[in-house]
Structure 1
Amino acid sequence: MSLAVTPVHFFSHGSTMMLGEESASADYWKAAGDAALAHKVRGIVIMGAHWDFKSDLAVQVSMNPNPSKQPVANVHASKYVEYKLKADLATGKRCIDLLNQKGIRASGNETFEWIHDVFLVIIRMFPNPNTMPPTTIVSSNAHYDPHFHVRIGAALRPLRAENYLLLGSGGAVHNLYRNIWSPMLLYKDNFAQPTPPESWALEFRQAFKDVVEQNSGPRLRRGLTRLMKHPQYRDAHATDDHYISSLFVAGAVGDEEDEGVSAKLMAEDWELTNMCNSQFTWGQYVEAKA
């Protein structure tokens, strides 16, 4: 019997203004949320970009029963302050157990505040907080070893067969040092493009897209790991934090059983001239087949 498994998403969350402004990406996040609700997913397991655990080869899982939200710049408070988050402690404990079983040191964090890289996407996916599925956040590791993060995704991959949605929130091209900030700071216009994106941004965006669309199974894992040696990688990612969740995704959808399942680019927005917010999905909701 082949098991039906949930899709996997890699979402580029972009700047904080993606929470408040309409965009093609926001429309797709909502569509992905609607599909998850229609399929009655049991919960969401997500690795973002802004929480890294500073210990050798170890991660943490958010176990705060009533998490607060860190403030979001350039977004009106009405967009997020009253939104009630829904932490999933039972699945958090399950994730810790699965990771430890695979030799990944995992522990719970009972005081972690949720950061916009996670709740920005969640609010866009589920605008009505009453419909938000229970959600578990897994940290990255501050050493940013790509192979280690593939192992994290692989360890949690079995949850897909139990109707959990696995998701990485980061960025395909995300270098805050090389963005053009003046339109946003002066006019609150994050989508202004007074000039085209620079060549390094266009080239790495294309390289990322080629890898995830033209590879599947273990080749996907190798391809995304290898991209960290791409000549434009450091231009596209001054720090590794927004790329590393794509390796978590590769672990979750890069098994031999995933051969033939490649990503599809579902939406994309350029922000701040040089930041590319690409939204990729692997697979679709299907019923089990005997």
Structure 2
Amino acid sequence: MLPSYFIAHGAPSLVLEEHAYTKMLKQLAHQLPKPKAIVIFSAHWEESIPSISVVRENDQHSTIYDFGGFQEELYKITYPAPGNRSLSEHIQSLFSKQAIASRLDEERGLDHGAWAVLKLVYPDADIPVVALSVNRHLTNEQQYHIGKALSELREQDVLVIGSGGTVHNLGRVNWRSDRVDEWAEAFDQWIEQKLETWDIDALMNYRELAPHANEAVPTSEHFIPLLIAMGSGDANRSAKLLHRSYQYGNLSLSCWQFD
């Protein structure tokens, strides 16, 4: 059975950077059997109804440049991974069994929350990808349930990834700072302890219980993929922190593995 992952995608420029975090991501695929397909939830695709990407037959995903003001080189990167219609339809059936409404989307490409991560881990873009949306208006329990509904995919050699960020407050980032803000570390350390002990009750109420939660997570779309990835690991309930570092004072770069 493949593990599932939460992978922080940082700033769009992450895909061009060379440091300990990107080095770890580039080595990640070498530690795993090659998956038959990848299912990835991106914080940058928000829909009120869970949406599942479908690529038309013999087509590839388009690349969405959903950012501005970064290096020109970024706008030349593509990630033309194939899709997998049967997997998209299978995901919809798994959702249906759990009374989760969903829809197939034939128009959506891969935004940087998806392709920047995948370009680092699987640069050849030769593995079928199905992208899924997030909805910040669901409860934390519902987010976890979405991941749990897809847990059997891991037994079918499908890699499940949630792409977001545990501390993601663009209003507080300091583009010139190398010093990590204490509030960001305190929040992440609380999350680490609750994940490693699989304290679901605490995590479902992180906004009320975790230190500096409202500062670390001003809006929840980047935190949701963590809960989804965790939910997909519900059967074994084993969480392992593979990396954590920070950029710009408080932008968290972390990778969690759920076995």
Q: 1:275 aligns with which of 235, 239, 251?
A: 251
- Alignment partner, residue 63 of structure 2: 69
1:206 is aligned to 2:189: yes
Determine if contact 1:45/1:166 at 8 Å carries over to the other structure: yes
Q: Which residue identity does 1:77 align to in structure 2?
A: E
| Superposed displacement of residue 76, structure 1 | 4.2
* CA deviation profile, 1:241-283 (whole Å, cap 9, x unmatched): 100111101210123xx14x2x222122311111111111123
Deviations 1:140-176 (A, max 9, x none): 1241421111111111001111111111111121111
Q: Please point out which of 130, 133, 138 is paired with 1:139.
A: 133
Tell me, in whole angstroms, the C-alpha distance in 2 between the residues paired with 1:45 and 1:92.
9
- Native 8 Å contact 2:151 2:231 kept in 1: yes
Question: Does the residue aligned with 1:51 lie in a helix, a strand or coil?
Answer: strand
CA separation in 2, counterparts of 1:166 and 1:48?
11
Report SS of the residue matched to 1:90.
helix
Alpha carbons of 1:142 and 1:212: their partners in 2 closer, same or farther (altered >3 Å)?
Answer: closer
With normalisation by structure 2, the TM-score equals: 0.91
Report whether the alignment pairs 1:240 with 2:220: yes
Q: State the Cα distance separating 1:199 from its structure 2 match.
A: 2.3
Asked whether the 8 Å contact 1:43–1:164 carries over to 2, the reply is yes
Structure 2 unaligned segments of length 5 or more: list them: none
Which ranges of 4 or more aligned residues in structure 1 deviate by more than 4 Å?
none
Does the 8 A contact of 1:47 with 1:140 survive in 2? yes
Residues 48, 170 of structure 1: 8 Å contact kept = yes
- Aligned position for 1:32: 28
1:169 aligned residue (146, 163, 170)? 163
Distance 2:169 2:128 in 1: 31
CA contact (8 A) 1:49 1:242 kept: yes
Of 100, 106, 112, 2:102 maps to 106
Distance change (3 Å), C-alpha of 1:206 and 1:231: closer
Match 1:60 to one of 51, 68, 72: 51
2:241 matched residue in structure 1:
265
**Identity percentage of aligned residues:** 25
CA deviation digits over 1:214-237, x for unaligned, max 9? 32xxx4x33421223224111001
Deviation at 1:34, TM superposition (A): 2.5
Query: What TM-score do you get using the length of structure 1 for normalisation?
Result: 0.81
* TM-fit CA distance, 1:88: 2.1
Asked if 1:159 corresponds to 2:153, the answer is yes
The answer on 1:89 being equivalent to 2:85 is: yes
**Is 2:221 the partner of 1:227?**
no
Q: Secondary structure at the match of 2:168?
A: coil
